[in-house]
Structure 1
Amino acid sequence: MTRQPLRRLLGAASILLITLIMLEVAVRMWGYAQPHIYDPIYRPYDRTADIPYIHKANLTEARARGLAVINTDSLGLRAKIAGASYGAKQPNEYRIALIGDSYTFGEGVTRTEDTYAQVLEDTLNQRQQAVAVKTFNFGASAYSVKEMVATLQYRTPDIQPDFVAMAIITSDFNLARTPRIDEEGYLVDQKLHRFSPPGSMIRRALRHIHLIYVLREIGVRWAFPSPDIGEMIVRGETPETYEYVRQFKKLAEERGLPYVMVLLPRMRTKDWGAVSDQLTRDRIPYLDLSSLKSEFTEEQYRASRFDPHPSAAVHRRIGEALADYVRHQPGFVR
């Protein structure tokens, strides 16, 4: 009699195991998890707690989120040349610091040459020869406006920028979106951090299971719904965290830095409403690029089937539009 319950238990366990294996195979064939798999490319930033992580320096052909293959320079910024270093700014050099989240970093864009940061640099250099323009891409996945202000304060002085752009989407006003970093260099969602299994070997093994990424997405959406900042803005409300934008303005002006807020286009997101109105009242220069999304179908806009980040084509239009803006700034030599 005691063997029958054991057989039932083993039978149920076998069915569950076979089901999970079949689901894993199906998810791998589906391709959903691919944009979420990446190398341990992050490291803690030790100069302030307001920046929990940056990219590791001198990476060569590392896999980043969104199927991007990246190099990083000596500052840990995405760059065409791995390990590139920069001395003091030269008299004929014009440096632009781009601060943002995964959109600015170029998540979903395989080649660095196709990111809007690089398109901006190339376009400005093609259209004039008076100065050599160099862009510095301080974008990092899931940064909020808080980390962006801290980046301006702590990281940009190293490059002595002539112009600074803070590029945002509506989600950047949600401070809870910024994850933590583990000891290996992976990001861990704040909501799921307490559920993270102990031991790096277990976590490393789980990262190779594609089904985990589907279950995680379902779990986060169901158990930890995020506030819809976009809808709040459309209703005419200004997020409390807009105060970080004012801090950005104050810090840039204290340093005598020309700056602009770039309102990036995002598919399925309405206009910036209250935010653009508030920027106008606060006399903060901004460039609203949200209309660029109308130039693309949803398929053309998306980096890939399962990645809603902007594609290389969208990045090109952002870079070109930003180049036109910079060229007409008083401090830019044409």
Structure 2
Amino acid sequence: MTEGDVKTIQFGLGAKAALVVIGLLIGLAAAETALRILVPARKGTEFDSLNELRRTILSEGSDTTSSKGETIDGIDSGNLRAIINPHPDDRIIFDLKPNLDTTFQRASLKTNSCGMRGAERSTAKPPDTFRIALLGDSFAFGWGVQQEESFAQRLEDNLNRLAQGRRRFEVLNFGVPGYSTFQEVAKFKESGLDFSPDAILVFFVQNDFGFPFYVRDIYNPGSVLAATEFARLSWKAIDPNIEQQRLELLGYDPNSALRQLAKLARQERIPLFLTFNPRKDWDKDLYRLPILKKRKDIRVINLRPDFENIMAVRGYAEAELTLAHDPHPSPLRHAIYGDILTPYFMYALP
């Protein structure tokens, strides 16, 4: 082989390598363009970092739910900033302010000294008391309904009525509007065990598969978006498959979070229950949580059959099940949830 032949071969290999690199770059650019077209970013105010979001939460006059004062069907979406504090943990990001006594989403809102909605709770569990730690987002929190109308309170009241004073039941509401499953679990790991819960109940909503309502931009991991229409946008994932893949890579997906929670619950010997928002296609959520097939220690509560039966027997209209101004559950729907959940905890009755 001559020197010229060697140079020709080297040139040929270099040219092919260059073409491969160029092809990859073009392919990546095309893929990114396609993603931006097919998966448009949600409206919102962009933050450069979580720290900037935290500063915005603390600043006067800011509103993390509405950067330009938009409304939902003519109704002010409400200033979520007014009821939350920034949290230094990037897995929690924010939590409810303690000792609130205000009005939020047309309902009175009181939080205790521990930052939970509801009555004051001592850290030490009182004698003859059974505690249920409720984890969730705005559904569990009771968005737009009075405290006494929330399914958390309904469940507690039902169990105490059945116990007839022989045992006290407390439902500790760790629900926070805008939370995703990874935040719920991180918050519980931080402080939930301090209250010595006897059971854990996770209320799972379909948007738990996505980022929180202010979302990390799927195209720019360094930025955070603040939703302008929380009550509506919180229902809409970008693309559930693409978004879930990214969440899994970052460790923010609900399967990872539930795996951590199940491990903790097992170590502490605390029964762990998980239930779904009983929409018609709730089983799609179940399918996307393979962790539930692997972990037999997560007890799934299917609300859908009883929910359908109550709807049929009592003749409720769909319009009665949501708030007039946004898609969150109405007091009636909360009452139904509380009643259906009650029998699953009657094992703790004396």
Q: TM-score, normalised by structure 2?
A: 0.65
8 Å contact kept, 1:95–1:162:
yes
Which residue of the other structure, out of 224, 238, 259, is the alignment partner of 1:246? Answer: 259
Instruction: Report the structure number with the largest CA radius of gyration.
Output: 2
Partner of 1:227: 239
Partner of 1:156: 192
Which residue of the other structure, out of 210, 224, 234, is the alignment partner of 1:190? Answer: 224
Q: CA deviation at 1:298?
A: 2.3
Within 1, Cα distance between the matches of 2:113 and 2:304? 33
Within 2, Cα distance between the matches of 1:302 and 1:241? 26
Alignment gaps of 5+ in structure 2? 1-69, 217-222, 245-251
Q: Which amino acid aligns with 1:76?
A: G
Within 1, Cα distance between the matches of 2:287 and 2:121? 41
Secondary structure at the residue paired with 1:119?
helix
Indicate yes or no: 2:335 matched with 1:322. no
Partner of 2:300: 286
Alignment gaps of 5+ in structure 1? 1-26, 181-188, 194-212, 233-238
Within 1, Cα distance between the matches of 2:127 and 2:177? 33
Within 2, Cα distance between the matches of 1:132 and 1:327? 12
8 Å contact kept, 2:154–2:339:
yes
Q: Which amino acid aligns with 2:110?
A: N
* Map 1:165-180 → 2, pairs under 5 A: 165-177=201-213
Partner of 1:5: none
Indicate yes or no: 2:297 matched with 1:311. no
CA 1:319 to 1:257, structure 2 compared with 1: closer, same or farther past 3 Å? same
CA 1:70 to 1:268, structure 2 compared with 1: closer, same or farther past 3 Å? farther
Within 2, Cα distance between the matches of 1:293 and 1:35? 29
Secondary structure at the residue paired with 1:313?
helix
Q: CA deviation at 1:144?
A: 0.7
Aligned-residue sequence identity (percent) comes to: 26
- Residues 243-291 of structure 1: CA deviation (Å, up to 9, x unaligned): 2222211111111111101112247766544147752442121112234
Secondary structure at the residue paired with 1:133?
strand
* Map 1:37-116 → 2, pairs under 5 A: 37=79, 40-46=82-88, 48-60=89-101, 62-64=102-104, 66-79=105-118, 81=119, 84-109=120-145, 111-116=146-151
Q: CA deviation at 1:35?
A: 4.1
Partner of 1:117: 152
Within 2, Cα distance between the matches of 1:316 and 1:49? 34
Q: CA deviation at 1:89?
A: 1.1
Within 1, Cα distance between the matches of 2:318 and 2:278? 12
Secondary structure at the residue paired with 1:134?
strand
Q: Which amino acid aligns with 2:147?
A: T
CA 1:258 to 1:68, structure 2 compared with 1: closer, same or farther past 3 Å? same
Q: Which amino acid aligns with 2:332?
A: A
8 Å contact kept, 1:101–1:139:
yes
Q: TM-score, normalised by structure 1?
A: 0.67
CA 1:226 to 1:292, structure 2 compared with 1: closer, same or farther past 3 Å? farther
Q: CA deviation at 1:51?
A: 0.8
Secondary structure at the residue paired with 2:323?
strand
8 Å contact kept, 2:210–2:237:
no
CA 1:280 to 1:155, structure 2 compared with 1: closer, same or farther past 3 Å? same
Aligned length: 258
Q: Which amino acid aligns with 1:170?
A: Q
